[in-house]
Amino acid sequence: MTLQEAALVLHDGTLFEGEAIGAKPEGGVTSGEVVFNTVLTGYQEVISDPSYAGQIITFTCTHIGNYGVTAADEESARPFCRGVVVRDLARRRSSWRSEGELDDYLRRHGIPGIAGLDTRRLTRHIRDQGAMPGAFGTAGESILAAAAVAATGTDGQDLVTTVTCEEPYRFGNGRAHVVAYDYGMKTTILRQLADIATVDVVPAHTPAAEVLSFEPDGVFLSNGPGDPAAVLHAPANVRQLLGEVPVFGICMGHQILALALGGETAKLPFGHHGGNHPVQDRLTGKVEITSQNHNYAVVDSGLDNVEITHVNLNDDTIEGLRCTNLPAFSVQYHPEAGPGPHDARYLFNRFAALMEGRA
């Protein structure tokens, strides 16, 4: 197969040359916020994670697509990312689980990609300068540069509305009953919740009164994309649930809980995206290797009656909290690990214990 020349231009004018893969974007250009992810495996789970809405994903692992794709690894009905950047796209897949090629998968879902770039150089640039908008495609350099300058990041954007479900639905048949706010829910999270509960998933804008009408044993706040401070309705709804029912949040849900408790969030220089972040559980002293995907973090200010339970050992950012006077807790990372290590899956059992009054 003959690949067409393509290029990536960042907001600051930095140019990277490569070859087009995946779908062909309209006008030969796609734009978004460029971030990097350090996972060695799990590229399909990353691409199909709704939390990447509005972003272009750069994989630091050099060889992507070598084991193909399978429906079993999908984290949502379709990918919401703006594009994919890889160093080397595998020419053939090799896995007994494989049902297709990654390139075909990208084409089928309308996701453009670019391969053959020096992703090491790109990653170092983002790490040093911070995540920034960019544009890539087969259009001319001047067109790409203009698109990169015009592109916006995730600041101030409520991207949750673009990924949340349209109608409530039920998942699983566990003993407890949980209502889950869908801010961009991953399928692996639903599977983990289904081990402990029957889950009614509701759209992100669902009023607290409607959630309470389900008479749940607990409420779950899911992961999701964009700026948590821009999801204006969410903290107010969660605030009305606190004290009425146990609450557990992951990633965006962690940030929403913090905002509901009077805290603040701030954007990280280049975010946390990968499957190898060390996090210490202050309650036990143990260190977990965690899966992460977020651009924003909770700031340690304005939080009353809150204990910081987990801390990222790379940069000391807050990775978990719990209320000292209410049955509510959350973590910034992804304990469901899709993909990633399973060190933190105990947190779903901790939620079950909280709903049963044992924690």
Q: Which residues are catalytic?
A: 251, 334, 336
In angstroms, what CA-CA distances link 9 with 135, 147, 185, 317? 5, 9, 31, 30
On the CB side of 119, CA atoms within 13 Å amount to 23
Select from 51, 21, 81 the least CA-distant residue to 231.
51
* 5 token code pair: 């020349």
As a whole number of angstroms, the distance between CA 102 and CA 196 comes to: 33
What is the number of other CB atoms lying within 10 angstroms of the CB of residue 258?
Answer: 27
Angle at 99 between CA 98 and CA 101, to 5 degrees: 85
On the CB side of 331, CA atoms within 13 Å amount to 25
* 284 token code pair: 């036990």
Select from 25, 22, 12, 9 the least CA-distant residue to 136.
9
As a whole number of angstroms, the distance between CA 265 and CA 274 comes to: 20
As a whole number of angstroms, the distance between CA 331 and CA 283 comes to: 13
* Local structure of 334: helix, strand or coil: strand
State the virtual CA torsion across 154, 155, 161, 162 in degrees, nearest 10.
-20
Query: Is 315 exposed, middle or buried, given 0-12, 13-18 or 19+ CB atoms closer than 10 A?
Result: exposed
Please give the single-letter amino acid code of residue 116.
G
Residue 285: CB partners within 8 Å, gap ≥ 6? none
